[in-house]
Structure 1
């Protein structure tokens, strides 16, 4: 089985990651690769790292009819692009995986507030699926449109999912409502753009917070937590999320602070996390007392989690790391493709992390 693939927006960081991963995928064939500015240029001219990896592949202008000849189209584009083409593609039996935000938020109000765009295909939004495989695998398998999760929400939701699920199953509060997510990302998370605050002399030897007053990934995290609760409303969670920019290219580290209730303190959190992710190929729950770092996942589709509790204290800390461009973006998109087409979920993604 060969899946015919198109990538719209192949010159950004998530685009080149898709090319890197899909070019090694045994069941995928990249048929079209579009770029608004680099049409006609061969891929290896633009990305020397792909010389000898992809052959006879060049960037082209976007043509919907060419995209519709493919089985799946990945949109590695700015917000607002995928929804312009999703209706035509799905009507022609082509699946859509959007790495931007067009199909992440089910609330039109939240989408328009945080992305300052009018949603042009709300009917398709209702049938789209949030592409967090470890939570929505069965829905993804039947989907025509996937909203690939944001990088920060991936770490946050997967970091919170086991304890929220346990709380849901127990039908009682295991954690207090107030959750703190202290998150850091490498500079590639801002995309491949020439902004002053992203140049080397501004980011090197610097560590800064942003989106402190509010960040567009917060409603996505809140939506994810609500979905895990499955409408049981054990309690309304108030989430404080603050992202930071750190002077490295790749990597994301989210530290989640929770306060356990008496019922929560009686639970073995390490076992809850071990059991919840026991059969997940890309989630690694570390042994007690072992903590993750971003280098341990660099270049891979791995997400590593550590659980820390304290004697005679209700505080718990969950530590989550991933490569923001792989599990946080393109790798997760390929994982979704595998599920959508009934393939082994790990195909094309068994990449060993790069060290040092």
Structure 2
């Protein structure tokens, strides 16, 4: 046998042996982490990275709102305690996730619907879109909220949802449920009780324990915080300020509309825990981003995933070279690692995004990074 034939047989035998090895590994519910070549079959780096990933995507409110109205006709509160549409990223389906760590849902309540209290380990917010009578009761603080107001329903805090005032209302929810689910830490509790006359009594409505303006009265003045209250209500697992009013946020945006801002983001204002200056939750945080008339941001890329809802205005974003158009109340998914630019096409009106980010989790794990490009296209390390 020639040397060439011997080499060929040896390679053939090795290939067959590797195939047998890979079959045995798969049957044993294991994964091989070595690379014997750059071929599709054996490049384990590529295979390891080839997991389901979120993709950039826009959900249109013009599609969502009619479905919510149809659901209101067909699904009553006798049928279910919830009437929400969860946005599922096509790259992650069927997992209930809009990006890998968060999901957005739209909720419609008919006039004067109040659901029973519940609590859960995922942290959530509600952001008002339509109607003045959105309602959330959180740990004994009854909050009625309108467009632009953000209400926290923290990890393990009793809360209930609905409407007051005799009109329909729609709000947008953002939860870290996909992250908590991945950590196998999800729990829900629907048995709400209070102590009455020394006995535990199951109740359908929380008894108010705080004034309806408690969050604003105690925490609504920046730089000032009363010392005479307990700031650990709800277990101290989040910001104790449970409602952030739009009028305060709008005043801050208006006061800075002529500032230079950040060339990669425009004007961004974070919601914070007033007792720490940090994010409202340990896992995810929220912000408002304003693009002035005609403003276009420079490209930036970050490891954090984002969910953006245009609260006012319309325009488009360029994500990894592809254009995505969005309008008021839509939701835009920007998965971590994507290059993104935002464009306000109006010469007269601002664009205002309500944004959610999983950056707090990444920062806690020392994984967060952010890059940008300048006008010349040079790569910049921003964070």
Q: TM-score range by the shorter chain?
A: under 0.3
For CA contacts below 8 A with separation 6 or more, give which structure has more relative contact order.
1
Structure ranking higher in helix proportion: 1
Provide the TM-score with structure 1 as the length reference: 0.23
Give the greater-gyration-radius structure (CA). 2
